[in-house]
Amino acid sequence: MRVYDTILKKRNGMELSTEEINHLIRGYMSGSVPDYQIAAFVMAVFFQGMTARETSDLTMAIVSSGEQVDLSGIAGIKVDKHSTGGVGDKTTLVLGPLVAAAGVPVAKMSGRGLGHTGGTIDKLESIPGFNTSLDRDVFIENVNRIGISIGGQTGNLAPADKKLYALRDVTATVDSIPLIASSVMSKKIAAGADAIVLDVKTGDGAFMKTLESAADLAKAMVEIGTRVGRQTVALITDMEQPLGNTVGNALEVREAVECLRGDGPPDLRELCLVLGSHMVYLAGKAASAEEAREQLEAFIDNGRGLEKFRELVENQGGDPSFIDNLSLLPQAGEKITVYSHRDGYISGIRAEQIGIAAMTLGAGRETKDSQIDHSVGIELMKKRGDKVNGGEPLAVICANNAEKADQVKELVLRAIEISQEPPEPGKLIWGQVTPEGVKMY
Ligand code: URA
């Protein structure tokens, strides 16, 4: 089998066999296939696409390039959740404990943030003492004992994805649906999930800027999951504005606790209930997603979700006292309020710009080696559709550096759009993709 012929076949729009895809990825990993041939291959995929069968073969070839986590030591159906990346997305901190309270084993390996979107591990590390570097055995033992553990990724999972992604990044081939879908799904499958709930974001702050492209990505990922025997559901959700009111690590932990107490922002609560109810249903702990939702609502009302969160924090070495006194979380030295210059309605809050503003303050990483400042970030006082008067606060910038705060003030003002008329109502959940098909709301 010659790699040249595989590239030519794809370049001419023909379907590759499983053997050809495996041969290519194996050769790439062993070093016998050079970067320039893979670069040509991904460009051919970019233009010609892949069939659903090819995409799931590519996914499994990437999975086979490294270790696969064995979660069989944990009883029950392990359901993972994955978000394609958003601004202010702290859903894992809320729905992890809620879903665990419903008896679903939560063995969550999360990532750190890069660029304008934050990572769950960075958020958790703003909790004093919280340990996210867990040995695999300890991680599994935690889930068996208290029903939940959240740790950073360990092991050599999907190494072909790391190589492919780095190459795509420099060859203008990142935004290809089969390549993104296989990249995301390979990591979820290698991490040992039995079932997967995907949160595919759409809008300004998302990878997929249009509803159509988000739906296509969701369909491709659900198809892969179904083909490889993992029940998969995708929700297409809004990222036209940040999720909730806070962006920044400790600020987001605070908001997650508020949500578990029952007084978090409505969009965060709703998204956690919708994603969480699908997780509970896929895990077989409820007869329908509607019944699962009722369980999760009850766990917010009766405090069992918050108690599970406390257990998680204590079990991973964190000091849980901040849960009863949120001022014990890291606090920024300066709080600068941004005021509206005019009357009107908030017509948009550009999520990507707010994410970049938070990163500029130190809440996120510009490069892989940047140090995070857990205390800094942005708190929004208004959301899309709200009425605002001139002189009213729009946002609070929490900073530790006056110069950066000044820079960010401009960014935040520019990110918050004000119009004379109320905007068209947006949607939080745009649609749902299951193996049975697409349902748009
Ligand atoms: N996120 C991933 O994990 N992979 C991609 O290709 C794009 C986004």
373 labelled catalytic: no
To test the pocket of ligand 1, the residue of 42, 84, 175, 221 to mutate (highest count of ligand atoms within 8 Å of its CB) is 84
Ligand 1 centre from 409 Cα, in Å?
31
State the pTM of this model.
0.95
403 phi and psi angles, rounded to 5 deg: -65, -45
CA angle 172, 177, 94 (to 5 degrees): 110
Q: Which residue's CA lies nearest to atom 7 of ligand 1?
A: 180
Residues 6 or more apart whose CB falls under 8 angstroms from that of 406 comprise none
> What is the Cα–Cα distance from 333 to 396, expressed in whole angstroms?
13
Question: Residue-wise pLDDT tens for the chain (441 aa)?
Answer: 899 999 999 999 999 999 999 999 999 999 999 999 999 999 999 999 999 999 999 999 999 999 999 999 999 999 999 999 889 999 999 999 999 999 999 999 987 776 777 789 999 999 999 999 999 999 999 999 999 999 998 879 999 999 999 999 899 999 999 999 999 999 999 999 999 999 999 998 888 999 999 999 999 999 999 999 999 999 999 999 999 999 999 999 999 999 999 999 999 999 999 999 999 999 999 999 999 999 999 999 999 999 999 999 999 999 999 999 999 999 999 999 999 999 999 999 999 999 999 999 999 887 778 889 999 999 999 999 999 999 999 999 999 999 999 999 999 999 999 999 999 988 999 999 999 999 998
Among 80, 117, 174, 202, the mutation site with the greatest number of ligand 1 atoms within 8 A of its Cβ is 174
Report the DSSP pairing between strands 246-247 and 195-202: unpaired
Helix or strand run (H / E) with residue 136 = helix 136-146
Q: How far is the CA of 41 from the centre of ligand 1 (A)?
A: 18
Residue 343 appears among annotated catalytic residues: no
Answer yes or no: 310 catalytic: no
Q: Is 231 helix (H, G, I), strand (E, B) or coil?
A: strand
| pLDDT per position as a tens digit, 162-179 | 999 999 989 999 999 999
Going by the DSSP 8-state scheme, the letter that residue 328 receives in this structure is G
Q: Which of 89, 110, 176, 183 is the pocket-test mutation for ligand 1 (most atoms within 8 Å of CB)? A: 183
Is 168 one of the catalytic residues? yes
Alpha carbon distance 164, 385 (integer Å): 41
User: Does the annotation count 82 as an active-site position?
Assistant: yes
What's the gap in Å between 178 CA and the centre of ligand 1? 11
Instruction: Give the pocket of ligand 1 (CB within 6 Å).
Output: 165, 174, 179-180, 183-184, 207
273-332 tens-digit pLDDT: 999 999 999 999 999 999 999 999 999 999 999 999 999 999 999 999 999 999 999 999
- Rounded Cα–Cα distance for residues 46 and 21 (Å): 15
Phi-psi category of residue 338: left, alpha or beta, with phi > 0 → left and psi -120 to 50 → alpha: beta
